A and B are shown apart, each in its own frame.
Chain A
Amino acid sequence: MSRAIHGTLFFLGLLAVWQLAVMSGRWSPVLLPGPYSVGEYLWGAATDGTLSEACIVTMRRLLIGYGIGLLLGLPLGMLTSTSQFFQDTLGSLALGMQTLPSVCWIPLALLWFGQTETAMLFVVVMGTLWSVLIATDTGARSISPIYARAARTMGSEGLHQWTRVIIPASLPYLISGMKQGWAFAWRSLMAAEIYVTILTGFGLGHLLHYGRELSAMDQVIGIMLVIVVIGLAADKLLFSPWERFLHRRWGTGLLQG
């Protein structure tokens, strides 16, 4: 309970500092709107449906792109971890591609696909795929060979060994890889939405972009807050249950209680 109180007090404190900074009058309200006017914008956008529509458009792109990235990255990572040939070829490519910030894919995506949904998805997939691939590869390589040996003597082989031994054994690495992939997907999608203007859907990135065009600082800050909240919520809803399971089973992270 006291943790909830600490958290609440901390964020109320941040709001108070923000309000005080606005009230000091040192900065123009155009550049630094107060919490109240940002709240007013968010309320308006929420009630007229702009916000929910943008959230749905953004989340749909994110989930599709992230899903494709996972579906490609997990098996390819397994492949590079088991075969020297694929490690030397695909593995090296993945390492190189991972160092490329996903924003750098946008010019290429625009020229190839134009101002379309495909361009958007392409950037998200490129942002997700390589980090998921590398995390999976690392995970499958890091498991102690004794697990596979023990499983083999008990009669486990082939697909059974993959699904019941190798994948569960590398779960800690897979989860952190999926989490990292999620973070990359989220960043690349925001970059794509700010740069790629398309008519098929108006996402959060677009709202941010037009906030700047219209010098509507309350919109810019409001949308940034929404993006932060979505990121936090995804972490809590998608990954926290898995991480708690891992900590309980593997006995890791005991310092956090």
Chain B
Amino acid sequence: MIDHSKLQATASAKLVVDGVSKWFRTARDTVHALDNVSLDIAEGEFVCLVGPSGCGKSTLLDIIAGLTKPDQGRVLADDQIVAGPGRHRLVMFQESALFPWLTVLGNVLFGLKLKQELSKQDRLQIAHDHLKLVGLEKFAHANVHELSGGMKQRVALARSLAPDPRVLLMDEPMAALDALTREQLYGDIQRIWETRRKTIVLVTHNVREACCLGDRVILMSPHPGRVREQFRIDLPRPRDINSIELASHARAVTSALKGYLVSGAEE
């Protein structure tokens, strides 16, 4: 199942995570969140980080985003060291981080307004195009609270894509949605990724979701957070989450995951 020769990225790596470690100090003790994590993520690759809670996958995403600083190691995006958040690496969060004081259109325009080089006309055009991309062009002037959970995450997707970032980081964007809405979004995300070819890093605890979306699934284990195993998913797209081939991939990842949980308990 693990094909190490194929895991070597052939295209120029867009993201390099180089020996990253992170500790969180609380009043009572120190938690070792990440231990010497290294990853190469190719340009246009869709990578999913999977692991039980506490494995540091969200922390790793925050570090790639530049929202958290690593204690050791570094992250390179296009050979530049990541020193802070930047609009080339946009994050889509688990809960809706849409701004309630803006309309749907206002939310999509927020990131665009920070791009000085665009004219007002361009911004509006881009915002409307992206709302169309996620199928919400009719809701441009709706208020955020009027949307369903799935629609909110679609707007969040449009808001993250509109400023044309080089990397899209997704932190469990589907965790709060019902199964049916989730399946629709899997379709949407695959379709958009096919056309826009962003480098995507998605964090999830749902193994099937990871196998459905990712080119590569990276399995992490907790205490301390480490990369344990990588799985390349060579299934044709668009993938159906309920297909048998996908289920067999997911089973392999799940059994590996369980193995680490058991051995972790014995340590």
- A residues with CB within 8 A of B: 144, 146-147, 149-156, 160, 164-165, 168-169, 171, 248-251
Indicate which residue in A144, A146, A152, A248 contacts B85 across the interface (CB closer than 8 Å).
Answer: A152
Provide the bound-state CA to CA distance between A150 and B95, in Å: 11
**Docked-complex contact A154 and B110, CB < 8 angstroms:** yes
Q: How large is the interface on B (under 10, 10 to 19, 20 to 34, 35 or more residues)?
A: 20 to 34
Known: A147-B97, A165-B99. 10 other contacts (CB 8 A): A146-B93, A147-B99, A149-B93, A150-B93, A154-B163, A155-B85, A156-B110, A168-B102, A171-B101, A249-B101
Provide the bound-state CA to CA distance between A116 and B66, in Å: 57
**Docked-complex contact B95 and A146, CB < 8 angstroms:** yes
- Chosen A-B contacts, 9 in total, with CB atoms closer than 8 Å, are A147-B97, A152-B85, A155-B115, A168-B101, A248-B143, A249-B100, A250-B145, A251-B145, A251-B146
CB-CB under 8 A from B91, the residues of chain A are 149-150, 153
What is the predominant secondary structure among interface residues of chain A facing chain B? helix
B 102-118 contacts with A by CB, 8 A = 102-103, 110-111, 114-115
CB distance from B97 to the nearest CB of A (A): 4
CB distance from A170 to the nearest CB of B (A): 10
**Docked-complex contact A153 and B85, CB < 8 angstroms:** yes
Provide the bound-state CA to CA distance between A151 and B93, in Å: 12
CB-CB under 8 A from A160, the residues of chain B are 114
CB distance from B10 to the nearest CB of A (A): 29
- Contact A150/B114 with A250-B145, A251-B145 known, Cβ cut-off 8 Å: no
B90 contacts chain A at the CB level, 8 A cutoff: yes
B135 contacts chain A at the CB level, 8 A cutoff: no
B89 contacts chain A at the CB level, 8 A cutoff: yes
- B residues with CB within 8 A of A: 65-67, 85-87, 89-91, 93, 95, 97, 99-103, 110-111, 114-115, 143-146, 159, 163, 169
CB-CB under 8 A from A156, the residues of chain B are 110, 114
CB-CB under 8 A from A154, the residues of chain B are 87, 90, 110-111, 114, 159, 163
CB-CB under 8 A from A147, the residues of chain B are 97, 99
**Docked-complex contact A146 and B143, CB < 8 angstroms:** no
- Contact A153/B99 with A249-B143, A251-B146 known, Cβ cut-off 8 Å: no
CB-CB under 8 A from B86, the residues of chain A are 153, 155
Query: Considering only CB atoms, which chain B residue lies closest to A151 in the complex?
Result: B110
CB distance from A56 to the nearest CB of B (A): 36
Provide the bound-state CA to CA distance between A239 and B253, in Å: 57
CB distance from B115 to the nearest CB of A (A): 8
CB-CB under 8 A from A149, the residues of chain B are 67, 91, 93, 97
CB distance from B94 to the nearest CB of A (A): 9
Provide the bound-state CA to CA distance between A232 and B77, in Å: 58
CB-CB under 8 A from B159, the residues of chain A are 154
Provide the bound-state CA to CA distance between A155 and B91, in Å: 11
**Docked-complex contact A153 and B146, CB < 8 angstroms:** no
Provide the bound-state CA to CA distance between A225 and B114, in Å: 52
Provide the bound-state CA to CA distance between A149 and B171, in Å: 12
Chain A CB within 10 A, most for which of B65, B114, B163: B114
Indicate which residue in B97, B100, B163 contacts A150 across the interface (CB closer than 8 Å).
Answer: B97
CB-CB under 8 A from A150, the residues of chain B are 91, 93, 97, 99
5 closest A-B pairs by beta carbon, nearest first, are A251-B145, A155-B87, A154-B111, A150-B97, A168-B101
**Docked-complex contact B87 and A169, CB < 8 angstroms:** no
CB distance from B107 to the nearest CB of A (A): 10
CB-CB under 8 A from B99, the residues of chain A are 147, 150, 165, 168-169
Query: Considering only CB atoms, which chain A residue lies closest to B107 in the complex?
Result: A150
CB-CB under 8 A from B90, the residues of chain A are 153-154
Query: Considering only CB atoms, which chain A residue lies closest to B169 in the complex?
Result: A153
CB-CB under 8 A from B65, the residues of chain A are 153
Query: Considering only CB atoms, which chain B residue lies closest to A251 in the complex?
Result: B145
Provide the bound-state CA to CA distance between A147 and B107, in Å: 11
CB distance from A228 to the nearest CB of B (A): 33
Provide the bound-state CA to CA distance between A144 and B114, in Å: 22
Provide the bound-state CA to CA distance between A144 and B102, in Å: 16
CB distance from B15 to the nearest CB of A (A): 15
